[in-house]
Amino acid sequence: MLIEKIKELKNAKNSNYYDFKYKFNYHSNKIEGSTFSLEDVLNLMEYQQVQGTHKFEDVVETKNSLELFDFVSDTLGEPITKTLLLEFHSILKKNTMDDERGFKGCFKKIPNRILRTTVKVAEPHEVEPKLDELITWWDGLKKKALINISEFHLRFETIHPFQDGNGRIGRFIILKQCIEADINPLLINSDNVLRYRGVLAKHSVGDLYGFFSDCEQYEF
């Protein structure tokens, strides 16, 4: 089982777990505009050193993302719940401006949108019932496959439940879902961000599944 393998590798210094950890976080954060290079993320992860010129918020969120990666790994096998998603968000947004504004670890309070698209997302009052519906659907699946993960991601991003950080949280959910389904986790390359945003904007499960099928799958 991939879950057991991930947990074993996490306890082994310099294993593939850590190679994937910094690559996953580099690409996921780069999609959202992070200025960290692969080497910058590696130095922060390995030596707690910040190299280069970055906004303080970028540094904090990159550090938080590395912490969240380990938390996701530690909670593999636990069901997806609204409480778990709030924990994800609380870790990602710890000590950020969103934390100061009261947006950390809670669902959105103000209507938001997916930048660079015309996709209509859920209103704040719709978030919890729509998440309940999505989680119930997911839990009811007898076997989870990449097509189901694609549908979950599309529906989650359309709900856009948090004030900010929805894309990163959504990709951490993909990481969890892939490993739990014994699928080698996806590495959504930041070089393909335009195609990624385009298929999300088209709101087509089939197109998103096609995109995910073309993504690199990291082999442990």
Report pLDDT for 135. 98
Report pLDDT for 117. 74
Report pLDDT for 119. 82
Give the mean pLDDT of the chain. 96
**pLDDT tens over the chain, length 220 residues:** 999 999 999 999 889 999 999 999 999 999 999 999 999 999 999 999 999 899 999 999 999 999 999 999 999 999 999 999 999 999 999 999 999 999 999 999 999 988 777 788 999 999 999 999 999 999 999 999 999 999 999 999 999 999 999 999 999 999 999 999 999 999 999 999 999 999 999 999 999 999 999 999 999 9
Report pLDDT for 161. 98
Q: Do the Cβ atoms of 20 and 70 come closer than 8 Å?
A: no
Domains along the sequence of the chain with CATH: 2-217 (1.10.3290.10)
Report pLDDT for 182. 97
Report pLDDT for 65. 98
Region of 182 on the Ramachandran plot (φ > 0 left; ψ -120 to 50 alpha; else beta) = left
How far is the CA of 22 from the CAs of 2, 40, 165, in angstroms? 19, 9, 18
Report pLDDT for 61. 98
